[in-house]
Structure 1
């Protein structure tokens, strides 16, 4: 009745295959074909046939990011045959019994992992390296069962025991003929991932950041438990941080930016998460879109580039395929032989079968300033448990008597809606509905150079500047050749200690501030660059009492209260200029500070110069767009236009 599935089940391991049940699907898709390896995402062969690619974490090197390179191949199944099997038929056909396996435990002991968490909080977040980071550990086991029996048994168990998955899958891709080194190993995995990384369909890109974790009690989730989770500050901030990071990607991918939909509750068998859906329009090739969005902040951290550096510093083993993704490219009907849609889920909640019988189930926890090491240890146990229990590697337990629909519980929908009160309207409304820029605006057509210091918040800044009618482009800090030609230069944010003159990025910020100010050319500095500017102007820069990473604060901006998102570990304070400082071009400007209740300089202004500590472009910055316009107008010497209510900043 289902010949392709029967062939898969009868095969000796030499037949490549994939079994997929996609979100909301009533069928299991069975795919077979030819296996080829690609070096780069752009090499994935799209010549008219569907392709399923298994993308390892090492592909981060395509973006120039630091990574432990284990040589894991970017393996592609070029689909030559496929069939759809009704779910009930698949469950009746797949092997019902779990394969025997010996559990060995986590490769990193609980106390050792807790120590890693403490070090990341103190040495990375506490030193300005970023807002959040994800550290991985692996649960390990062994089995003597053959690969086809193992993977198909795992797949059936996940179909039966897990709920709420975006994809449930099993993939077996033996090495292509002639492969050598790490690429000579087969790639075999099965999982039930909750999270879409990126889809492209009919020119619409969608991403799905999921973060924050409610661990269900053994007796089942409760209304009280989920409401407590939705009120938790740490869980709220964790979600908003990853939304900000993925909006950076959407702003780079979609010319009109992205829009935020949600939040929603993602309920699974043992865990629930909060999530948003981001969408925008793009004409990008799906392979280029994947490269621009490698990898999800929910499994790496933010800012992305430094997150990869932090991962490499604290994780001693390569990640393999954990935090990579599957990517299914399907020909778009009637759109030509090279037009493809894309559906790419993140590789989490996944078990890997290695050629020597080793089994590994990676799991990670998102670490933020509020993280408690013991809680993060428990989160890795909970995330791995859903897969491990389904595979029979840990006790499944009786579970609750009935499944509770948490979203339908009294007060839950309202608690989710409350979260959006913190969001910037700019990113919630459809971007096509943004106010049209009047051609006669004094900002219209002005050229803006936005300098990226390894934090892609600059893509969101550039997008907002374009909505002001300006001609903005983003250039990485080490590729800038001229900071005097443009009407306005925006020196952007980035990780690190702004006092460290030995850091080439910090030295470049200082040099460009002095060059731009010395020439009397308009300048706007943001976050890290604001701190460097403040230091040059004679304001001492020090570590804050507590990091403000992913925090939304309402503070004074030159006489106006403005709600803005902050991502800083350091801050400038008010003091009297020393005689040594008074002769520098920046100090001679005698910049006027705006200071918050804790004595932190939130913004500076002077002739042709404006700076802000907060991220006006963040999704947390309710008043950010109007304050950005005011700061730009001040730097350019253009009269500020009237802005209603709390949005006025003058």
Structure 2
């Protein structure tokens, strides 16, 4: 019988239990959770495996709300049509019958503390081989335009002969006692399978309709001793670590824009100190009316453990990892009933941390996955060392490496005013649009005078063609903010009728080589060519900008070095604007070229010093290499408004500021 009653104002909790007696009688299935250093929650019930997220049983046969803790494997991304190796890991649901809350100190005293013997077999991929993988990903994937970042894992493995429940309880206690900064410390034990971890990162939560994501990226390795002020300042000054964080914020803003009508507001950055590592993170918040299962599906899975853009990242991981991920980089999703107003149906809140810094035990085999985020300027040796450091927190709790000692920041380094100033300074280069409340129009930028009115009569209808990069969800959100009616349609679903009935077509960005002959590029050429031939309003972004340039007869070539996640100043009509770039290829003109005569008429050109084309504008069209929707584009909204006005041939004052 569920402990939740549809007539109750709040879930019924079973309190005041003796920790020793509760823990001594635990048998699978059960879960122990310590959330954000709180008391220990003990969940027991029955297990059911389901095929898809829609089948997670949030209600029983009588329609009563149930609490469910679901282990969601990485292979579930196939629900979105993304690539994943099918390793058979089940979508496993613990349907909670009872919840007990134990005082943290009492639980620590009652949990077993005797070490569990582990035979360490080392990493399945040695340091040299992993470093070579990093080199290949930089050269063959980022260097050829497949994306901006990829998170490739390796696994530390071992053998355990001890009873699985004893091992789970022992490791849970050790993590609870030694690891700082965890969002969840947990042990989830079902028949034949154990997952024990201390994850720092919530992937997505939904509480009374408020969605929160907290992307964590950027890693300072400091061992068991906390970092010094100087080490933190050096870390915060690192271009690689800073851009790595900005890229995952962009990727999660894509997800937020898909599930929240008002997009996602960014706050931070913050430091998250842990026992052996310190991370940087942002918090993204927005409002939604979606079922939490739909929110979870739309956000599978975090770019911090996969890469970006997401679809391409899944393909790249399949290619370079060559094996299934099990639950690594999936989530532990706790769906908790929330009583609504009187007479209203009960909905569920969602709390879904990422399954990282986690040990898995099945059939006596131990696996501890760890990964590093590979970007354009990754150092193979440092990325390899990062995987070792990330695994060490869990391995220390298991007794495989020396146990960490819970420490405190030396001289208050994490709260030092100079450190906090350096941290906050990162926002100076970001788009204020994403840092502000988006329920009202954002402040206009420097490129255009503010507009104060919106179109009257029928809204301007924009079709945004998605070329396999969900930046299009952010573009559509900004277009709506400007007063347009925008819908996103995948490249392989958009019809000629969609194109012909649109007031504005926005051909979106995507991964890959713009010169290839794939069906996706062929369709982008069709979309762009149709609108150019019709002299009807078109805006093309990044990959589609390169397609426009190619159709105008300009050469499109690889850049000397990829610009994935790079903010650059562009010159537009004599004014400078900061825009985020995610490109490996560029169109070129002779340096100093300001205009071209083409078969679609006169075209104005804005280009860099080496002739790489930033913006093209002709009759009824504009194209831009940078991502105006990116959090890196401080002036992106203003430039977007300028280019949309140009394509639509409307005067200032017609689009909202």
**TM-score where L is the length of structure 1:** 0.92
Deviations for 1:215-255, whole angstroms, at most 9, x for unmatched residues? 01454311100110000000000000000000000000000
Counterpart Cα distance in 2 of 1:517 and 1:458: 21
Q: Residue 403 and residue 43 in structure 1: after superposition, are their counterparts in 2 closer, same or farther (change >3 A)?
A: farther
> 2:220–2:279: 8 Å Cα contact kept in structure 1?
yes
> Structure 2 vs 1, CA of residues 522 and 120 (structure 1 numbering), >3 Å: closer, same or farther?
same
Task: Note the 1:508-519 alignment, pairs <5 A.
Answer: 508-519=523-534
Q: Which residue of 2 aligns with 1:630?
A: 642
- 2:80 is matched with 63
* d(CA) in 2 for partners of 1:208, 1:480: 33
Give the Cα–Cα distance (whole angstroms) in 1 for the partners of residues 442 and 410 of structure 2: 46
Mean Cα displacement is larger for which, 429-438 or 74-83? 429-438
2:18, 2:318 → 1: CA distance?
Answer: 45
Q: Which segment is superposed worse, 311-320 or 333-342?
A: 333-342
Q: 1:349-387 deviations in whole A, cap 9, x for unaligned?
A: 0000112x1111000000000100000000000000011
Structure 1: tracts of 5 or more residues without a match:
175-185
How far does residue 67 in structure 1 lie from its aligned partner after superposition?
Answer: 0.5
What is the Cα deviation at residue 37 of structure 1? 0.8
* Matches for 1:412-491 after TM superposition, within 5 Å: 412-434=419-441, 440-441=454-455, 445-482=459-496, 483-491=499-507
Instruction: Give the secondary structure class of the aligned counterpart of 1:375.
Output: helix
2:599 counterpart SS class: helix
Per-residue deviation, 1:100:
1.0
Q: Which residue, 336, 344, 358 being the options, matches 1:330? A: 336
User: Paired residue for 1:499, among 512, 515, 540?
Assistant: 515
| Cα contact 2:275–2:407 (8 A) shared by 1 | no
1:17 paired residue number: 30
Deviation at 1:484, TM superposition (A): 1.4
Partner of 1:231: 237
Aligned pair partner of 1:43 in 26, 30, 55:
55
CA contact (8 A) 2:269 2:423 kept: yes
Quote the Cα distance in structure 2 between the aligned partners of 1:95 and 1:403.
Answer: 31
Q: How many residues align?
A: 622
Gaps of 5+ in 2: 1-15, 60-64, 444-450
Provide closer, same or farther for how the CA distance between residues 435 and 372 of structure 1 changes in structure 2, counting only shifts above 3 A.
closer
- The reply to whether residue 532 of structure 1 matches residue 514 of structure 2 is no
Aligned with 2:349 (options 341, 354, 374): 341
Selected match of 1:350 from 358, 364, 377 = 358
Cα distance, 1:92–1:399 mapped onto 2, change above 3 Å: closer
Q: Per-residue CA shift, 1:579-622, capped at 9, x if unaligned?
A: xx99xxx7333422111123210000000010000000000101
1:108 Cα deviation after fit = 0.3
C-alpha distance in 2, partners of 1:29/1:507? Answer: 54
1:387-406: CA deviation from partner (whole Å, max 9, x where unpaired): 10111011236686876643
- What's the CA shift for 1:316? 1.6
1:142-291 correspondence runs (5 A): 142-174=159-191, 186-217=192-223, 219-291=225-297
Distance change (3 Å), C-alpha of 1:130 and 1:630: same
SS at match of 2:155: strand
- Give, in whole Å, the separation in 1 of the partners of 2:142 and 2:456: 40
Please give the alpha-carbon distance, in whole angstroms, between the structure 2 residues aligned to 1:604 and 1:337.
53
Question: Residues 401 and 413 (structure 1 numbering): CA distance in 2 closer, same or farther, change over 3 Å?
Answer: closer
Residue 377 of structure 1, aligned match among 384, 399, 414: 384
Hey, what does 1:178 align to over in structure 2?
A: none
TM-score normalised by structure 2 residue count: 0.91
SS at match of 1:599: coil
CA contact (8 A) 1:540 1:575 kept: no
Is 2:532–2:600's contact at 8 Å kept on the other side of the alignment?
no
Moved more, 433-442 or 81-90: 433-442
